[in-house]
Amino acid sequence: MAIKLKPLHEQVLFISGATSGIGLATVHRAVEQGAKVFMVARNEDELQKIQDEMRHKGYDTAFAVVDVAEIDQIQSAADKCIATFGRIDTFVNNAGISIYSKLMDTSIEEAKRLFDTNFWGVVNGCKVAVSLMKDSGGVIMNIGSVLSNVALPIQGLYSASKHAVKGYTDALRRELMAEKIPIQVTLIMPSAIDTPYPEHAASHIGEPMHTPPVYAADVVAQAILKCAMKPTRELGVGSSSFLFPIMDRFFPRIQDFVMSKGYMENNQRKNGSSDRPSKDPGNLFTPPHVEGETDGRYEGHVMQSSLLTEAAERKSWLKVSAVAGGLGFLFLRKFRSLRS
| Best CA proximity match to 117, nearest among 296, 254, 252, 282 | 282
Q: What is the Cα Rg of the chain in Å?
A: 19
Give, for 203, the enclosing helix (H) or strand (E): strand 202-203
Strands (E) located in 42-89: 61-65
> What distance in Å separates the CA atoms of residue 68 and residue 61, rounded to the nearest whole number?
19
Residue 4, classed as helix, strand or coil, is coil
Query: Distance between CA 36 and CA 118 in Å, rounded?
Result: 25
Element (H, E) at 252: helix 252-262
Query: Which phi and psi (to 5°) does residue 260 adopt?
Result: -70, -25
Q: Are 201 and 97 in contact (CB under 8 A)?
A: yes
CA angle 7, 10, 12 (to 5 degrees): 110
Residues 6+ apart with CB under 8 A from 69: 116, 117, 120, 121, 124
> In DSSP terms, which residues pair with 43 in a beta bridge?
none
Q: Which of 158, 168, 215, 298 is catalytic?
A: 158
Q: Give the side-chain half-sphere CA count within 13 A for 315.
A: 5
AA letter at 331: F
Contact 12, 36 (CB under 8 A): yes
In this structure, the chain runs to a length of: 340
158 included as an active-site residue: yes
Nearest Cα neighbor of 208 from 99, 134, 111, 281 is 99
Neighbours of 159 (CB within 10 A): 21
Q: Write out the catalytic residue numbers.
A: 158
